[in-house]
Structure 1
Amino acid sequence: MPEPVFSELIHRVKTHISVIYPELDAEKVTQRLLEIMRLDENTESPPNHKNHWSEQDVIAITYGNSLLRDGEKPLHTLHDFFKRHLTDTINSIHILPFYPYTSDDGFSVMDYSKVNDSLGDWVDVENISKEFRLMADLVINHCSSRSVWFENFKQGKDPGKDYFYTVPPETDTSLVVRPRTSPLLREVETPSGTQYVWCTFSHDQVDFDFHNIEVLYEFVKIIRLYLDMGVNIFRFDAVAFLWKELNTNCIHLPETHEAVRLLRTLVEHAVNDAVIISETNVPNHENLSYFGNGNEAHCVYNFSLPPLLLNTLITGSCRHLKRWLMSMPPPQVGTAYFNFIASHDGIGLRPAEGLLNDDELATLVNTVSLFGGKVSWRSANGINKPYELNISLFDALQGTHKGPDKHQVERFVCAHAIMLALEGIPGIYIHSLFGTHNDYARVENTSHNRSINRHQWQVDSLEAELDNKYSSHSKVFTRLKSLIQTRIRQPAFHPNAVQFTLQLGEQVFGFWRQSQNRSQSIFCIYNISDIEQNIPMAEINLIDTETWFDLISEQQITDLHGYLNLAPYQAVWLTNRKH
């Protein structure tokens, strides 16, 4: 007889399968899935509603080749740099797709089972996973049109001949939500005639057909391989589009959510502390749905934060950021927000829909254009709308909507001081650590807007900049490291610690965090304008029986009846307990 844990696992998987594939033999499919994941009577039950993270978790986001050294594989270079410069700062690394690919800087995967030879090999990946918690992408919606699977599709061979979603060319797809302006269908000749393959993103990114159970089996094999290689955190890329159904919008369908629940069940029984993060660049309320009932993604990308924070710092008003923060539900135990303000992609505007009006979005677009950025577009009901702002975050914060000014570094550090203190797990893009500028040469070379924020540093040149205390790169790196090192010592910055929004006017943004045992409070207060602000201490409501310190300046607050004077873009973390 199966052990009780295994019996419950079998029941849960069968239930998921019955919802997604009601026409299939759920017991047979379940048996196959458990075999692939190597789950049996000895499987241990994952802890219910447990946080697999703490205030010490900070994730660096990077490409495998963001750092280069002549004569050395980039994954080795990356590992070496992090060991020498960031072991006391960063404990987790998200390496963006490191597999063989054909386009989209890795997100058109040719072979999910291999490491791109130009980057290194699985040994390099495993070595990184031994010293840092490793996050990797599961590019689950589509693969490269030059993958073996798609080549087999074009030749009518297995595996692959029925792995891709096709529809007749006359199909009405007017309801389908699109993140791009390219035609949805790609015409392909096959032995059975002309087929029209669904391409949500580009014609080099052909969408899988998850109606075919064999596709699910393939991805479960991939997940098992990544777990074996030390991956502990999975980013489910573009998962919102996974399931297609005609006469629907083909996004966030019930089968998609059930598939996430199924994969979570399998993953957490295989490795109890593994984490799934859903990547759904959509309006805020849709994004939050991937928490499910605490049984889908452990974490969701906080996609509304980047455009709202950019809006705040270029306008000098935190009205929208404050309203949004007050509306965000606290995640239940075992789930968390994944906070970021810059990534390998641009600053998405869809997550700001309903939060910023058209004029405010236009101000963002115009300001980013003024600062040398690009704008990417999507098609919505036949109308092109701005989809994404492409610019390095450092250059995006070089001024306000009035133009560039002298506060670039302070404004940039302020943005990170906000993000690092918010409820959730912080993710910091590698180019934010260095204050990297727009890379126009790369855009010209690739003809892709997103390349503007995907610079490749020669390590020797980078380290020369970091050693020069007058360099903006050195100033940013030093100050962000200091902020992170302070953050990871504070229990009140646990991703699930209490958060309460403060009301300090439009030009001062603030919130209160309290540790889970209630022993530490931190009042996080920011001047988000280019004008000095003076806040009566009485408005902050500090308990006068406590001694208060600013964790950032390391100064004690001596007069609780006076004023808190904040220089432009100054951040303070006021606490009653220093750690």
Structure 2
Amino acid sequence: MIPLRQQLEFVGSLHALLQLLYPHQHPQVLEQMLERLEPWQSRLAAGGGSSHLRQQAEVTERDAMLITYGDTLIDDGEPTLRTLMAFLDTYVGELIPNVHILPCFSYSSDDGFSVIDYQQINPVLGQWRDVRHLASEYGVMLDAVVNHISRWSRWFQGYLRSEEPWSQYFIEADPSLDYSMVTRPRTLPLLTAVQTAAGEKHVWTTFSADQVDLNFAEPRVLMEVMDVLLGYVENGARFIRLDAVGFVWKALGTSCMHLPQTHAIVKMIRLVFNTLAPGAMIIPETNVPHQENISYFGSGRDEADLVYQFTLPPLVLHSFVTASNKALHGWLQRLEDCPGDSMFFNFLASHDGIGMRATEGILSDEDRRRLMQQCLDNGGRVGYKSNSDGSQSPYELNISYIDALSPPAASMDERIGRMLAAHFILLSLQGLPAIYIHSLLGSGSDFHGMQASGVSRRVNRGKISWRDVQRVLEDSSSENSQQFRRLLDLLAVRRREPAFHPRSPQRVLDVDSRLFALQRTCHHSGQRLWCLANLSADTLMLPLPDEAQDLLQGKAVAEVSLGAFAYAWLKLPAEAQSA
């Protein structure tokens, strides 16, 4: 093992990033950072981290991810991470070999996103040993909620007492200044007045008064956060999600979003992971328009490993609302390949709403209004963000994905059909597919939870009894069981096909406006795989250029007939090479 200080390329790259962040103190910050990182080199080399991290660094067609809170499934006082493990082992296994556990730490609000202690697992969920046990069999993604921390954290309580080192850990702001350029994801005040030992101060609170933004302009904050992230890797994390990372650096007179310093921090995390924990991957969470989002790819080897595909959920929904591929195909045709070794993180639903910002410049205002109206008609809500001119614009649709897709009067067969076809599209695309647990289980919207709490996002965050899950999944006649098993069938087929490697080429097929049609091509054999999904209630007939193997039906076909919301994966021979 080469000592960290002797790895000259690493030290040089780290120094350059620190120089951008701290131009007046970078030599001493570099020394402090190296002192902080050196113990981690030996700790991680001694075996810290998951078996997945050490044995399978590359993401392949065999990978998919489950997104879930650690306490979505509950079982009479049992630590909920153990219940989650029982669910995965009993019903899922290798078909979804990775699991994203949404914030699993002690917290004070926002369903986990106001962390009190980054290093303490919420006792309801269990302990670190439960995380490590899960990571021994599955690739675990942990949330790093490091743009802000709970006002009840030790760090902020130390700040209120004006104690060191915490006196510089938070951003003090003058309320008389102009903050109109600052990007606001919510309609709450940006600054919060607090009483400290040194008198009244106004601190920066991007998301709520309980979530106080950290001051990354203070080098000690960056070093604390680096310790937190490496600790997550040591405890088994294969992936680290950087929540709301676009906001982490503030500079008055700017949008305070995606600033060069923010990108430098993400690059530094990638650099440190590549050096100390090869195979650990980072995924920034930046729910913003597409071009801003993909800026986090960097060169493809120096910043994010994966980038969320926030455009996908609303565009797939739009395709079924309009029974047309026009917007989805148009976007896919314009989509550039991911640079270097990076890839997209594809999903349709999550703990948050269906993001609308990613549709800016892609869907017309009329199309966006149509999606919002469908959400409202189906019982959901629309969340808004504040703009610099004082106006508001749609931020997200708060509704479960199955209810967003289907009108309330739809039959069980139509609801299942739409939901499976939507996830068929998800599983067909380049990138790593991720499925939200409520989508996997076919859960509808938790309208009662939303109304009782007054929190719109609770519509898709319901808790479920483990016994109820077992009972429903064992009932083959239930809507939930049918959807669940057919979705697992798709995952079983997908993981056997090299053409579904996350970076295998994809090309849109121009066939019928009512049909999602995509060709994936195996890098090695050149075999083509046609991915077809009917977006409409019509029956569609399609002749094929060559005899194909229908992977879902297990038979050879010369043409395909797709009923309402039906789909097919068709394997065709490699295209003949021209002389």
TM-score bin, normalised by smaller chain? over 0.9
Residue of structure 2 in register with 1:494 after alignment = 501
Aligned residue number for residue 383 of structure 2: 376
* Counterpart in the other structure of 1:180: 186
Q: Is the 8 A contact 1:39 1:269 kept in 2?
A: no
2:185 is paired with a residue of what secondary structure?
coil
CA contact (8 A) 1:320 1:356 kept: yes
- The structural deviation recorded for 1:191 is 2.2
Matched, 1:359 2:366: yes
In the TM superposition, what whole-angstrom CA distance separates every residue of 1:392-428 from its partner, at most 9, and x where no partner exists?
111112239xx74551110100000000110000011
Contact in 2 for aligned 1:276/1:298 (Cα 8 Å): yes
Taking the TM superposition and a 5 Å limit, the aligned residue runs for 1:386-405 are 386-399=394-407, 404=410
Query: How far apart are 1:35 and its partner, in Å?
Result: 3.1
2:169 to 163, 184, 200: 163
Q: Does 2:426 align with 1:419?
A: yes
Please tell me whether the aligned partners of residues 6 and 43 of structure 1 are also in contact (alpha carbons under 8 angstroms).
no
Contact 2:297 2:307 in 1 (8 A): yes
- Residue of structure 2 equivalent to 1:87: 93
Aligned-residue offset at 1:88: 2.9
> CA offset at residue 33 of structure 1?
4.0
CA separation in 1, counterparts of 2:34 and 2:133?
Answer: 29
Residue aligned with 1:111, SS: strand
Q: RMSD of the alignment, in Å? A: 2.1
Q: Secondary structure at the match of 1:196?
A: strand
SS at match of 1:363: helix
- Determine the C-alpha separation between the residues in 1 that align with 2:189 and 2:85: 40
Q: How far apart, CA to CA, are the structure 1 residues paired with 2:229 and 2:57?
A: 21
Does residue 248 of the first structure (1) align with residue 254 of the second (2)?
yes
Q: Is the 8 A contact 1:51 1:333 kept in 2?
A: no
The amino acid of 1:202's aligned partner reads: S
Count the aligned residue pairs. Answer: 561
Match of 2:305 among 276, 284, 298: 298
Say if 2:40 and 2:230, in contact at 8 Å, map to a contact too: no
1:427-466 correspondence runs (5 A): 427-466=434-473
Residue identity in the other structure for 2:361: G
Give the counterpart letter for 1:385 in structure 2. Answer: S
Aligned-residue offset at 1:28: 4.5
Contact 1:75 1:124 in 2 (8 A): yes
Residues 3, 453 of structure 1: alpha-carbon distance in 2 compared, 3 angstrom cutoff: closer
Q: Are residues 1:35 and 2:36 paired?
A: yes
Q: 1:126 to 1:504 in 2, by over 3 A?
A: same
The 10-residue stretch of structure 1 (302-311 or 82-91) with the greater mean CA deviation from structure 2:
82-91
1:548 matches 2:555: no
Alpha-carbon separation, structure 2, partners of 1:489 and 1:273: 23
Q: Report if aligned partners of 1:37, 1:266 keep a CA contact under 8 Å in 2.
A: no
- In 2: Cα distance, 1:479 partner to 1:324 partner: 28
Equivalence map 1:230-241=2 (5 Å): 230-241=236-247
Counterpart position of 2:416: 409
Kindly state the Cα deviation for residue 27 of structure 1 after the two structures are TM-superposed.
5.4
Shift in Å, 1:243: 0.4
Contact 1:6–1:41 (CA under 8 A) maintained in structure 2? no
Q: Is the 8 A contact 1:509 1:526 kept in 2?
A: yes
1:270 — aligned with what? Answer: 276
Name the structure 2 match of 1:23: 24
Would you say 1:347 and 2:348 are equivalent positions? no
Q: Which runs of 5+ in 1 are unaligned?
A: 45-49
Deviations 1:503-550 (A, max 9, x none): 11321111110112134321101111111122233xxxx3x3xx5211
Q: 1:567 to 1:336 in 2, by over 3 A?
A: same
Seen in structure 2, the aligned counterparts of structure 1 residues 38 and 526 have a Cα distance that, compared at 3 Å, is same
Q: Contact 2:5 / 2:34 at 8 angstroms: preserved in 1?
A: no
Deviations 1:418-449 (A, max 9, x none): 00110000011011111001112211332101
Residues 352-405 of structure 1: CA deviation (Å, up to 9, x unaligned): 1111111111111110111111111111121122211011111112239xx745
Amino acid at match of 2:18: I
Mapped partners of 2:441, 2:206: distance in 1: 34
SS in structure 2 opposite 1:11?
helix
What is the aligned partner in structure 1 of residue 12 from structure 2? Answer: 11
- 2:117 counterpart SS class: coil
| Residue number in structure 1 paired with 2:562 | 566
**Partner letter of residue 401 of structure 2?**
L
User: How far is 1:568 from its partner?
Assistant: 1.1
Bigger shift: residues 158-167 or 113-122: 158-167
Report the equivalent of 2:48. Answer: none
**Whole-angstrom CA distance in 2 between matches of 1:130 and 1:20:** 37
Q: What is the DSSP-based 3-state SS (H/G/I as helix, E as strand, rest coil) of the residue aligned with 1:76?
A: helix
Instruction: Classify 1:89/1:508 alpha carbon distance in 2 versus 1 (closer, same or farther; 3 Å).
Output: same
- 1:531 equivalent in structure 2: 538
Alpha carbons of 1:219 and 1:523: their partners in 2 closer, same or farther (altered >3 Å)? same
Shift of 1:5: 6.5
1:42 is displaced (CA, Å) by 12
Moved more, 547-556 or 94-103: 547-556
1:57 has 2:51 as partner? no
Corresponding letter in the other structure for 1:329: E
Do the aligned partners of 1:43 and 1:269 also contact (CA within 8 Å) in 2? no
1:204 positional shift: 1.0
User: Is the partner of 1:477 in helix, strand or coil?
Assistant: helix
What amino acid does structure 2 have at the position aligned with 1:327? R
CA distance in structure 1 between the partners assigned to 2:352 and 2:3 by the alignment: 46
For the 8 Å contact 1:306–1:347, the answer to whether it is kept is yes
Q: Give the distance between the partners of 2:530 and 2:99, measured in 1 at CA.
A: 29
Distance 1:398 1:40, change over 3 A: closer
Most deviating of 21-30 and 143-152: 21-30
